Structure 1
Amino acid sequence: MEALTAVAVLFGAFFVLLAVGVPISVGLGVASFLTALVFLRWDDATYVIGQQMNVGIESFSLLAVPLFIFAGNIMNNGGIARRLVDLALVLAGRIPGALAHTNVVGNMLFGALSGSAVAAAAAIGGTLHQRQKEEGYDPAFGTAVNIASASTGLLIPPTTASIVYSTVAGGVSVSALFMAGYVPGILMGIVVMVIAYLFTRRNRYPTTRSITPGGALKVFVQAIPSLLLIVVVVGGIVAGVFTATEGAGAAVLYCLVLSLIYRSMTWRDFKEVVTRTVVATGVVMFLIAASSGMSWVMAYTGIPAAITDALLSVADSKALILLLMVLVLLVVGTFMDITPAILIFTPIFLPIATELGMHPVHFGMVLILAMCIGTMTPPVGSVLFVATGVSGVTIEQVVPRLVPYFVGLVLLLLAITYIPALSLGIPGAMGLLGD
């Protein structure tokens, strides 16, 4: 009964606050405090929620979040996107509809470097949009490809989504999460490319002109310094040379040096990058603090255990319970960004997943992929709005073109959910799962 009351107050207050336009982070904090007041005295509720918000961000590993945000912003202004687009053209230029496939490969490369779906959609989509238009591509089609593939960087490491999940899930290995993201992230890109290929064949979009071996080598050499960032950061973290936080610091330093070499960022650009980083860090950290208060309230009132019991009583099949969880996550992703969704729903669903024998790393990939799909769907799809803003295509024009990609990615999500080896194969082979 206590858990039912807590659910009603906590989520009722939260969704009412969202409906009237209160920011998610503020809604989380207020709803948590109101729920605590139902079970505790005013002084106790104030002290505990404040303490838990403070404890929630007292984590050395969370320092990686602002540092990776900083590195991503530097890359977005540092001339790296153009070199990655050139490399993607070399890799995908001979396939019909080459610019669409270039967009996918470019998003996978840039997203893996920046760890930001929004940055990838803006940088790669902005670089390719005019060229696609000149070669006769339907702008809505090109925008849909950009939207569907931009989130691959949330899976392919290094990525802040895995770091946030690691913290909320109770110290799940960041190295294991990074390695687990490769196969789902690459498969996500392949699914988008296959669907795009079917459309490009029907519309007879062209390949790009062939490039000489010497030209291809030159493009590859120019892209090597950017690609080495993945080797330095991910390789260093997995090899135990440095922690995720230290790796994020190395990424910032590397990107700054690269920007100086490319001479592509002025002092004014640098100040704007710092400002954007500070604002984004403040938003993310307050979200984490507020969600920590919410997590404590849920644990104190027994909400996760109650939800686990309810789900296990409704369905006696592991496959059915997993399907229900996936459907809930897909719905959540349509109206909530990835960071708050991870912060809110990890404490709720991770106990259920582990009760069913699901490895926390595997569940993390399912959760992040479901939220990746959410970034491309209205009404709150961040990538959807950024990509349409870059291309000038309306949401009404692009949403019908997104439906095939949505279906394909949902099928991929189900495959990732029911085939653990797709997520756990690489980290298991590297001995990172600890079991």
Structure 2
Amino acid sequence: MEALILLGSLAVLLAIGVPVAYSLCIASMVGYWVIDLPLDALMVAIGSGVNKFSLLAIPFFVLAGAIMAEGGMARRLVEFASVLVGFIRGGLSLVNILASTFFGAISGSSVADTASVGTVLIPEMEKKGYPRDFATAVTVSGSVQAVLIPPSHNAVIYSLAAGGSVSIASLFLAGILPGLLLGMTVAGLCLFFAYRRGYPKGEVIPMAQARRIVLDALWGLMTMVIILGGIMSGIFTATESAAVACVWAFGVTMFVYRDYRWRDLPKLIHRTVKTVTIVMILIGFAAGFGQIMTFMQLPAEITALFTSLSDNPYVILLCINVMLLVLGTLMDMAPLILILTPILLPVVSALGVHPVHFGMIMMVNLGIGLISPPVGSVLFVGSAVAKLRIEAVVKSMLPFYVGLLGVLLLVTYVPAISLFIPQAMGY
């Protein structure tokens, strides 16, 4: 009954339009009142939730991604991808996917990926003969890579929601193969449609120009090397690599590329602080909500419920996937990770599923939610950039949804896709 009141109050608050963070806080207060605990304990839980050193990675990665996104990096990555695959039939769609791969490995944000790459490539693809709705579908689908490929902000949030039992570095490494698999799946669909519909080939870029483009892009691509190389070599922790990447991104943008004006820098920092503040408030209130769920033994009850449905782990994972897909279309990714991880992690742990593997299952699920109606934030951004109705974009995305669901099944039922690199690196 206590758990029903807690979850019911949260559902009612969300249904009437109260912001997610405040819904979590008010529902937590109701829960503390129901089990007769002082609200002082809730304040302590909220403070403890954000008082973690590993959380410093989030503002650093957000700032580094914002600097590179607005400092000309997206255009240079598009040009670099054009050198590699632009000459193939349908090459401009492949350029879109590859640019998303590179940019996702710098920004860690699907929204930033769609906004930056889409602004450059959607008009260019339409100019070259691609339908605008198809160009938008490619951009939006490819941007899901950013939630998997390091440095994913959501991997940091998952590590926190798991109680710190899963290292951020292992999650970063685990996201490499699923992210690349997702990118290759979308690219394969692009090639299929290119040959079936007769989309144009791009031009081969002359060697001298290609050399200049590659050298220009290498400055930005070094951000990926700093993040991954630092973590894999053991030189940096994930948080330290975020700080170093931020300094590097600032230096490259302001002193090498010099496309960004110094007077615009305070506005960029102000936007970053606003973003990080929203995330931190959400994390703090979710910590309080998670504690009251623990007091009510809700995770144990949910575990018992799932295991009573079936003793087959494949069936239970399928049920969890369906639930995550549905919820992912209704709520944003970060709050769902914070709310559901403490509930579902004990369930899958009882089935023998590795916490890192489950993290990747959750990321792919909720990443699909980001590009699905009615609440998919990345879908809205892509439609706004392309100036198209969401219905038109969703219609073009139907084949890509099928491909992404195939990736989800592979990631779910083939643990090695997620665990091979972390285990090979000793995590």
1:6 and 1:303 in contact (8 A); partners too: no
Residues 83-125 of structure 1, C-alpha deviations (whole Å, 9 max, x = no match): 1000111122122211111111111110111111101100001
- The 5 Å alignment of 1:60-75 reads 60-75=53-68
Partner of 1:407: 402
The alignment partner of 1:380 has SS state of coil
2:57 and 2:242 in contact (8 A); partners too: yes
Q: Select 1:19's aligned residue among 15, 20, 37.
A: 15
In 2: Cα distance, 1:136 partner to 1:29 partner = 50
Partner of 1:176: 170
CA deviation after TM superposition for structure 1 residue 286, in Å:
0.5
Residues 238-263 of structure 1, C-alpha deviations (whole Å, 9 max, x = no match): 32222222211111111110111111
In 2: Cα distance, 1:95 partner to 1:320 partner = 42
In 2: Cα distance, 1:195 partner to 1:147 partner = 14
- The 5 Å alignment of 1:277-426 reads 277-426=272-421
The count of aligned residue pairs is: 425
CA deviation after TM superposition for structure 1 residue 293, in Å:
0.7
AA aligned to 1:422 is I
The alignment partner of 1:393 has SS state of coil
Partner of 2:193: 199
In 2: Cα distance, 1:426 partner to 1:103 partner = 26
1:71 and 1:114 in contact (8 A); partners too: yes
Q: Select 2:99's aligned residue among 77, 102, 106.
A: 106
Residues 320-343 of structure 1, C-alpha deviations (whole Å, 9 max, x = no match): 001111111111111111111110
Partner of 1:158: 151
The alignment partner of 2:329 has SS state of helix
- The answer to whether 1:33 aligns with 2:33 is no
The alignment partner of 1:335 has SS state of coil
Partner of 1:232: 226
CA deviation after TM superposition for structure 1 residue 164, in Å:
1.2
Deviates further, 420-429 or 260-269: 260-269
Residues 375-402 of structure 1, C-alpha deviations (whole Å, 9 max, x = no match): 1001111110111111111101111111
Q: Which runs of 5+ in 1 are unaligned?
A: none
Residues 66-96 of structure 1, C-alpha deviations (whole Å, 9 max, x = no match): 1111111111111111110001111221222
CA deviation after TM superposition for structure 1 residue 11, in Å:
1.9
The RMSD of aligned alpha carbons is: 1.1
- The answer to whether 1:76 aligns with 2:76 is no
Deviates further, 263-272 or 306-315: 263-272
AA aligned to 1:194 is G
Partner of 2:129: 136
- The answer to whether 1:429 aligns with 2:424 is yes
1:161 and 1:339 in contact (8 A); partners too: yes
2:150 and 2:228 in contact (8 A); partners too: yes
1:77 and 1:269 in contact (8 A); partners too: no
AA aligned to 1:149 is G
The alignment partner of 1:170 has SS state of coil
1:117 and 1:383 in contact (8 A); partners too: yes
Residues 256-277 of structure 1, C-alpha deviations (whole Å, 9 max, x = no match): 1011111111123212211110
Partner of 2:113: 120
Deviates further, 233-242 or 305-314: 233-242
- The answer to whether 1:249 aligns with 2:243 is yes
Q: Select 1:9's aligned residue among 5, 17, 20.
A: 5
Cα gap change, 1:39 to 1:220, in 2 (>3 Å): same
CA deviation after TM superposition for structure 1 residue 218, in Å:
2.2
Q: Which runs of 5+ in 2 are unaligned?
A: none
AA aligned to 1:24 is V
In 1: Cα distance, 2:98 partner to 2:332 partner = 24
TM-score calculated relative to the size of structure 1: 0.96
In 2: Cα distance, 1:311 partner to 1:20 partner = 29
AA aligned to 1:239 is S
2:111 and 2:377 in contact (8 A); partners too: yes
In 2: Cα distance, 1:330 partner to 1:268 partner = 43
CA deviation after TM superposition for structure 1 residue 151, in Å:
1.7
The alignment partner of 2:203 has SS state of coil
AA aligned to 1:197 is L
AA aligned to 1:75 is M
In 2: Cα distance, 1:415 partner to 1:133 partner = 33
The alignment partner of 1:113 has SS state of helix
AA aligned to 1:84 is L
AA aligned to 1:26 is Y
TM-score calculated relative to the size of structure 2: 0.97
Residues 101-152 of structure 1, C-alpha deviations (whole Å, 9 max, x = no match): 1111111110111111101100001011221121121000000111111120
1:165 and 1:342 in contact (8 A); partners too: yes
1:107 and 1:152 in contact (8 A); partners too: yes
CA deviation after TM superposition for structure 1 residue 227, in Å:
0.8
